[in-house]
Structure 1
Amino acid sequence: MKHFEHISPSTLDEAASLLNGGDAVLSAGGTDLVGVLKEELLPHYPSQVVSLKQIPGLDGIEAREDGLHLGAMATLADIAESPVVKEGWAALADAAYSVASPNIRNLATVGGNICQDVRCWYYRYPNSIGGRINCARKTGNLCSAMMGENRFHSIFGAAKVCETACTHECPAHTDISAYMELLRAGDVDGAARIILEVNPMPAITSRVCAHFCMEGCNRNKYDESLNVGGVERYLGDYILEHHSEYMKAPETENGKHVSIVGSGPSGLTAAYYLRQAGYQVTIYERMKEAGGCLSYAIPPYRLPKEVVRKFVATLEEMGVQFKLGVHVGEDVQLDEIVKSSDSVMLDTGTWKRPLIGLAGEEMTQFGLDFLVSVNNYILEKPGSRVVVVGGGNVAMDVAVTAKRLGSESVKMVCLEQRDNMPANAEEVERALDEGVEILNGWGPKEILRTENKVSGIVFKSCPKVLDETGRFNPIYDETNCMPLDADIILMAIGQRADLAFLNGAYEVETERGRIKVLDGNNTSVPGIFAGGDVTTGPATVIKAIAAGLTTAKSINNYCKLPELPVETVTRDRKHKSLVTFDSGCKNCHSASHGAMLRAEERGIHKEDQSGLDSSAVRCEAGRCFNCGCLAVNPSDMANMLYAYGAKIITTQRELDAATFFATSTRVTDLLRKGEIVTEIVVPRLPEGAVARYDKYRIRDSIDFAVVAVASVYRLNNGVVEDASLVLGAVAPIPMKRTGAEAYLKSKTLTAEVAAQAAELALEGALPLDKNAYKIDMAKTMVRRSMGF
């Protein structure tokens, strides 16, 4: 057991102060906490354990006019043996008695019992599976019960206790599992709106994103990642097709004007969210079309230009104004724009060629310029023998585009080995599929010339790209060189920002050739913000989109207006205490993919891959684990107190049973800083009411319930006037079965009625492969609670 400081305060105020002050946890009886600390179940441990045992007045058991008052420090043994409890609340005494052995009951308290954490085979008994694991409830993001041992786990879905792996890996933190759940329910509209909370252009990102979410997908540990990109494309195209429903002009203007310099994905994103809030937005773009890299740096076979144009046209319909062909710094100065605006955002990207000091470098062509030319419909073969220098996605686009324009030989040469290339694996496969030759582990040394024309290039071996700290610091072997014949060299080894437009009245601070930004993408000049590649260097489209949303929020704060509509929507979206999945999700091992054109059918302006249809999207959404925690709530007292409709009293407030037991799977998330449970008030049973507690467990000396049923039925001549039914150990929270309760009211209790109520009590159950037996067990116990 790790060392900790044990503190015994004499007052509740002192205990609350200790909880407020640092890394401390409460100890009531200590039976649960000792096991957690002793077995080293958690990745992080408290430095202080604050015991409540020395605080007087917390262990009372008293019947009053409004019900039974239980002090939080009353032991389970005292509750089980109390004549007061046995007389008026016998089922609660039964629940207390059902907890573990006499030794445990003598120490365990009612407050500690209702506040304890969940139980799980992996979580509690790590030695039986080979050692402690970081599950979703600790510092990991995977619940091993989904694909492993799950005999005792939830049959009513999982609890979201951490950010899912897919969402965590997405730079925009798209709530992917949430929209997958809505798609499984057939709610395409709701799924689309979830994406729009962080990303206004899923039709674009789905086609060009690196899809870090798919790399993080927990299915990768078992079979194949969810095809998030394919599902996102379906929703993105749906949004564009129905843009008038999703991307509406604001009903009222807020009187503020924002100017955005550059129309890349970051600027377009900020424009969308700001316009949605009623800002007048003007975008200055020096090219003839808006979109930045989306329109000019990404080939049409990956991102059809019509998709970008539709999105830009939608922004125009919302009221965003575009001033195209306007070069800020030449046609109009930045200070003029700043003076006419309430705030300004800079999103000018990285379009400038970096020079690396290579001999003969001036005779090579910048790969990005080549792509811009192609996107401007200059479709000439660049050369017969093409060498592309670089290993990123831009280099891949350059190489494949050259090949599709008719170059007989296209060789791509980069420093990194194949497995460490910065390009996406799918882009590498596309290039290889089309005959591009990739040579790994080489860096450029010099350009070869014949009669003042490029004739080739010499590369030197690069056995190591990163140093011991993981930083880019290539080591070359000058004795091992490789000459290649070429009539054109296309350099795709990076891009720089052109910051000449910053000269003038407003000197925005820069750093390493980029605009320097602070938190919220503030620049050194108040009211001027920046986002996208001009602040980070070349990055992904989704990262630029995330920066655009951040910038929009910061501009809105700077203008001192109420929160953006998107912030309100995200905050108000209902987060369920339990999430669902398709019960057969683990059995569908392969992802659905859109059809890919054969290599010989591909071209420059024809999209390589088709999208998924609605059936495939539903199937793919059904593969989603909706990753959460499948552990179960272990408290017997919670089940019975919930069924009784108890009230929980703390040092700060009074909570009803539903709020305390069913809104969160972690009491630590429910209680406020320094808040301590002090008392539980259990109402008296009305006349004619009968309460029961039943529990199945493997051995009586073990307090881990497999299934528990807490019930209160109020009868009048055999007719049910009211019912309260709670299932325990079947989910991460006690499950109140309102459907069964509603059905029972006004019914005469018969075997048939009890059986139907049992069916309704288990309605919506989501068994795993090894715990379906819990459903039949729970049905039997529900019938027994009614005497059948």
Structure 2
Amino acid sequence: MKNFTYINPSSVEDASELLKQSGTVVMGGGTDLIGVLKDGLLPEYPEQVVNLKKLPGLSQIEVKEDGLHIGAEATLRQVADSETVKEHWGALSTAATSVATPNIRNTATVAGNLCQDIRCWYYRYPDILGGKIDCARKSGHLCSAMMGENRYHSIFGAAKVCETPCTGNCPAHTDISAYMEMVRAGRYEDAARVILEVNPMPAITSRVCAHFCMEGCNRNTYDESLNVGGIERYLGDMVLEHSEDFMQGPKEENGKKISIVGSGPAGLTAAFYLRQSGFAVTVYEKQKEPGGCLSYAIPAYRLPKDIVRKFVSVLENMGVTFCCSCNVGTDITLDEIYKISDSVMLDTGTWKRPLIGLAGEELTRFGLEFLIDVNNYILDRPGSDVVVVGGGNVAMDVAITAKRLGAHNVTMVCLEQRDSMPANEEEVTRALEEGVKIVNGWGPKEVLRTDGKVSGIVFKNCPQVLDETGRFNPVYDENNLLTVDADVIMMAIGQKADLDFLEGAYEVETERGRIKALEGNKTSVEGIFAGGDVTTGPATVIKAIAAGKDTAIAIRKYCQTDALEVEKAAAARLKEKLASFTNECRHNHEAAKASLLSVEDRAMDKEDLSGLDESAVKHEASRCFNCGCLAVNPSDMANMLYAYGAKIRTNMRELDAETFFAGSTRVKDTLKPGEIVLEIVVPMPSEGTTAVYDKYRTRKSIDFAILAVAGTLRLEEGIVKEISLVLGAAAPIPMKLQEAEQYLLGKELTEETAKEAAEIALKKAIPLEMNGYKIEMAKVMIRRFLGF
């Protein structure tokens, strides 16, 4: 056990101030901190413990006009033995008595019981798994109960207690599990709107994104990642096909004019979100068509040009103005744009060739320029023997494009070994299928020439690319050389920003050949913002999209307008208390895959990969774990107090039972910083009300309910007039069975209605591999509570 400071505050006010400090936890009875302090249970330990036991006036049990008042520091033993409690709230006395051994009951307090963490098999028996586990509730992102031991876990879904790794890995932080849940329910439009909260072009990203989300998917621990890209493409194509329903112009203008220089993914994203919210947006683009890298750097077999054009057309229909074939710095200056705008965004990308000082470098061809020419319909064979230097996705596009244009031999040479190449695995596989030869572990040394023409290139061995700190710092063996014959050499080892348009303009500060972006993507000039590759260097499309949204938000703050429509939509979206999944998700081990054209059928103008159909999309969404914590709420007192409709009073406010017990799976998330529970107020039950607390557990000496039912019931001549039903240890929160309550109200209580109520109460249950028995057990306990 680690050392900590133990503090006895003299008042609630002092305790509240202490609890606002980081690294501080509260102690009520003492048993509530056993788990926090036990070695190896949690990754972080408290720096100081604030003891509430000595604060006066927090242990009373008394009846007042509004009901029973129980002080937060009253022990469970006091509640269990209190004649005052037994007289009108006997079931609460039963619940207190049911908690653990007499030793714990004598010490544990009411507030401590209510505020305790949820219980998990793996908390109690981590050694079964070999020690420390990657627990979502602690500091990891995985709940081992989904595919492992789960006999005591939730039958009503999981609690979202951390950012899921798919969302965390996505630069735009797309709420992937949320839209998968909507797809499973057939709510495709809602699912698409979740994506549009962070990404206005899913039809594009689904085709070209590196899909870091799939790398982080928890299914990888067991079988195959969820095919997020395939589902995203289905939804993205739906958005484009029905763009009038998803991407509308503003209802009214806000009078602010924004100019965007460059129409890459960052600029187009900012244009969409700003225009949607009433800004007048003009985009300046030096090429003849908008889209930046989407139109000119990515081959049509990966991203058909009509997809980009459709998206641009949607923006035009929304009212975005595009000024194409307009070279800022020549046709119009940045100064002129700045003077006619309320704010300016720079998204000019990285289109310039970097020189590495290679002997004979002037005889090589810049890979990006080659792709631009191809996208401008210059489809000539580049050469017979082509060498591509580089190992990223651009290099892959160059190599495959050269091969499809008729080059006999295409050889890719890169510094990295195969398993650490920056290119996507599927791109590497595609290149190999088409006859591209990949040589790993070599860096360029010298271009060979004969009669002033390229005849080959010499490489030097690269045994190490990164240094011990993980930074790019290649080591070469100058004595180990490789010569490759070539008549064309394509350099695809980087790109740099072209900042010539800044000359003579406002002093926009640059750094290492890029525009320096400060917090909020501000530049050194007030009112000018920058986002995308021009600030970061070459990156992914989705990273540029994330920068575009961030820049749009920063611009609206600068312009002092209301929140963007996208911000309002994200804030208004209702979050489910518990995350659901399908019963079959654990058994669908193989991902749905789209069809890939055969090598013989692949061409420059045909998309290689098809999309998933609706049935495949729904099947794939059903594989999503909707990752959360499957442990259950253990508090006996919470169940009964919830059933009684208790109120919880703190030093700051009064909370109703639903907010306190079911608002969050962590009470600390419900309470504000420095907020302390002072007392619980339980209303007086109506005359004739019966109340029951029933609990099933393996041994009476263990305070861990396998299942519990708490309820109050009032009948008049056999008709249900009032009822309150709560299931405990069935979910991460106490489950109020509202549908069953509504069904019973006004009905005669018979064996048949009791049976039907039990079925209704459990109809949304989602059993895991080993805990299906809890469903039948719960039905029996509910019927028994109802007298049958």
TM interval, shorter chain, is over 0.9
Corresponding residue for 2:658? 658
Q: Secondary structure at the match of 2:673?
A: coil
The one-letter code sitting in structure 2 at the alignment partner of 1:511 is E
Aligned-pair distance for 1:54? 0.7
Deviation (angstroms), 1:218: 0.2
Is 1:153 the equivalent of 2:134?
Answer: no
Q: Percent identity?
A: 69
The answer for the alignment partner of 2:758 in structure 1 is: 758
CA distance in 1, matches of 2:97, 2:146: 32
Partner of 2:188: 188
Alpha-carbon distance in 2 for matches of 1:38, 1:168: 30
The Cα offsets for residues 477-500 of structure 1, whole Å up to 9 and x where unpaired, read as 111111111110000000000001
TM-fit CA distance, 1:124: 3.3
> 2:530 — aligned with what?
530
Q: Which amino acid counterpart does residue 458 of structure 1 have in structure 2? A: V
- Contact kept? 1:60, 1:71, Cα under 8 Å: yes
Read off the aligned partner of 2:315 and give its amino acid letter. L
CA shift digits 1:690-738 (9 cap, x unpaired): 1000000000000100000001001112211011000000000000001
1:754 CA drift (Å): 1.1
**Contact 2:391-2:423 within 8 A present in 1 as well:** yes
What amino acid is the match of 1:233? R
Aligned partners of 1:599, 1:108: CA distance in 2, in Å? 70
Compute the displacement of 1:127 (Å): 2.4
TM-superposed CA distance for 1:234, in Å, is: 0.3
Secondary structure of the equivalent of 1:21?
Answer: coil
Contact 1:689/1:714, CA 8 A, preserved across alignment: yes
**2-side partners of 1:195 and 1:372: how far apart?**
30
State the 1:74 CA deviation: 0.4
8 Å contact from structure 2 (residues 171, 542) kept in 1: yes
2-structure distance, mates of 1:333, 1:123 = 64
- Aligned equivalent of 2:737: 737
Which residue identity lines up with residue 637 of structure 1 in the other structure? M
Q: Which residue of 2 aligns with 1:784?
A: 784
| Alignment map for 1:717-736 (pairs within 5 Å) | 717-736=717-736
User: In structure 2, what is the equivalent of residue 630 of structure 1?
Assistant: 630
Over 4 Å off, 4+ runs: none
Q: How many angstroms does 1:593 deviate by?
A: 1.0
Shift of 1:457: 0.6
Provide structure 1 residue ranges, at least 5 long, that are not aligned to the other structure. none
Across the aligned residues of Structure 1 and Structure 2, the Cα RMSD in angstroms comes to: 0.7
1:13-65 C-alpha deviation (Å, 9 max, x unpaired): 11001001231111001113123312431111110111101101000000122
Which structure 2 residues correspond to residues 549-588 of structure 1 after superposition, within 5 A?
A: 549-588=549-588
1:775 alignment partner AA: I
Q: How far off is 1:519 after superposition?
A: 1.2
Alignment of 1:674-753 (within 5 A): 674-753=674-753
Shift of 1:749: 1.6
Give the aligned partner of residue 476 of structure 2: 476
What's the counterpart of residue 649 of structure 1? 649
Cα separation, 1, equivalents of 2:695 and 2:390: 65
Contact 2:445 2:459 in 1 (8 A): yes
In structure 2, distance between residues paired with 1:217 and 1:290:
34
Deviations, residues 158-183 of structure 1 (Å, cap 9, x unaligned): 01111101000000000000000000
Distance in 1 separating the partners of 2:393 and 2:533: 15
SS at 1:769's partner residue? coil
In structure 2, what is the equivalent of residue 385 of structure 1? 385
Query: Any idea what the Cα deviations from partners look like across 1:419-468, whole Å, max 9, x if unmatched?
Result: 01011111100100100000001111111111111111111111111111
Give the C-alpha shift of residue 566 in structure 1: 0.5
**Cα deviation digits, residues 106-141 of structure 1 (max 9, x gap):** 000001100011000113332232212231111111
C-alpha contact 1:521 1:529 (8 A) present in aligned 2? yes
Q: Which residue pairs with 2:207 in the alignment? A: 207
| Distance in 1 between residues matched to 2:406 and 2:590, nearest whole Å | 36
For the 8 Å contact 2:150–2:768, the answer to whether it is kept is yes
Q: Which amino acid aligns with 1:608?
A: D
TM-score relative to the length of structure 1:
0.99
Whether 1:344 aligns to 2:344 is yes
- Secondary structure (helix, strand or coil) at the match of 2:586 reads helix
| Superposed CA offset, 1:510-544 (max 9, x none) | 00000001111000001000000000000000000
How many angstroms apart in 1 are the aligned matches of 2:470 and 2:108?
51
- 2:59 maps to which residue? 59
Counterpart of 2:12 in structure 1: which amino acid? L
Helix, strand or coil for the counterpart of 1:291? coil
Alignment of 1:301-700 (within 5 A): 301-700=301-700
CA separation in 2, counterparts of 1:212 and 1:505?
38
Post-superposition offset of 1:760:
1.1
**Alignment of 1:270 onto 2:270:** yes
Moved more, 742-751 or 763-772: 742-751
CA distance in 1, matches of 2:356, 2:281: 39
2:290 maps to amino acid: A
> Where does residue 226 of structure 1 map in the other structure?
226
Match of 2:132 in 1: 132
Kindly state the Cα deviation for residue 763 of structure 1 after the two structures are TM-superposed: 1.6
Q: Is the 8 A contact 1:740 1:757 kept in 2?
A: yes
For residues 485 and 74 of structure 1, what CA distance do their matches in structure 2 show?
85
Instruction: Encode CA deviations 1:228-247: one digit per residue, 9 max, x unaligned.
Output: 00000000000000000000
Deviation at 1:681, TM superposition (A): 0.4
1:11 equivalent to 2:11? Answer yes
Superposition deviation, residue 572 in structure 1: 1.2
For the residue of structure 1 that corresponds to 2:20, the secondary structure is helix
Counterpart secondary structure, 1:586: coil
How many Å separate the matches in 1 of 2:628 and 2:123?
14
Check conservation: 1:77, 1:96, Cα contact below 8 A.
Answer: yes
Give secondary structure in 2 for the equivalent of 1:258: strand
Q: 2 CA distance for matches of 1:94 and 1:276?
A: 58
- Using the alignment, how far apart are the partners of 2:127 and 2:12 within structure 1? 38
More displaced stretch, 5-14 vs 698-707: 5-14
Secondary structure of 1:587's match? coil
SS in structure 2 opposite 1:80? helix
Give 1:743 deviation, angstroms.
Answer: 1.0
Contact 1:43/1:134 (CA < 8 Å) preserved in 2?
Answer: no
- In structure 2, C-alpha distance between the alignment counterparts of 1:30 and 1:752, rounded to whole Å: 46
Query: Over residues 270-315 of structure 1, what are the superposed CA-to-partner deviations in whole Å (9 max), with x where a residue is unaligned?
Result: 0000000000000000000000000000000000000000000000
State the secondary structure of the residue aligned to 1:132: coil
User: Which amino acid counterpart does residue 586 of structure 1 have in structure 2?
Assistant: R
Query: What is the CA distance between 1:756 and its match in structure 2?
Result: 1.0
* Alpha-carbon shift at residue 750 of structure 1 (Å): 1.5
2:345 and 2:530 in contact (8 A); partners too: yes
Once the two structures are TM-superposed, the CA of residue 771 in structure 1 deviates from its matched residue by 0.2
**Preserved CA contact (<8 Å) 2:36 2:45:** no
Residues in 2 aligned to 1:672 and 1:294: alpha-carbon distance in whole angstroms:
46
- Determine if contact 2:143/2:628 at 8 Å carries over to the other structure: yes
CA separation in 1, counterparts of 2:124 and 2:20? 28
Whether 1:104 and 2:107 are equivalent positions in the alignment is no
Q: Residues 123 and 135 of structure 1 are in contact (CA less than 8 Å); yes or no, is this contact kept in structure 2?
A: no
Q: CA contact under 8 A between 2:4 and 2:49: conserved in structure 1? A: yes
What is the alpha-carbon distance in structure 2 between the residues aligned to residue 126 and residue 362 of structure 1?
A: 62
Contact map agreement 1:41 1:124 (CA 8 A) in 2:
no
Which residue in 2 is equivalent to 1:118? 118
Query: What do the CA deviations read for 1:378-420 (whole angstroms, capped 9, x no partner)?
Result: 0000000000000000000000000000000000000111001
CA distance in 1, matches of 2:510, 2:36: 51
Does the Cα contact within 8 Å between 1:256 and 1:280 map onto a contact in 2? yes
Q: Does 1:249 align with 2:269?
A: no
Residue type at the aligned position of 2:525: V
SS at match of 1:585: coil
Distance in 2, Cα, partners of 1:293 & 1:354:
17
User: Structure 1 residues 572-581 or 365-374, which shifts more?
Assistant: 572-581
Query: Do the aligned partners of 1:28 and 1:51 also contact (CA within 8 Å) in 2?
Result: yes
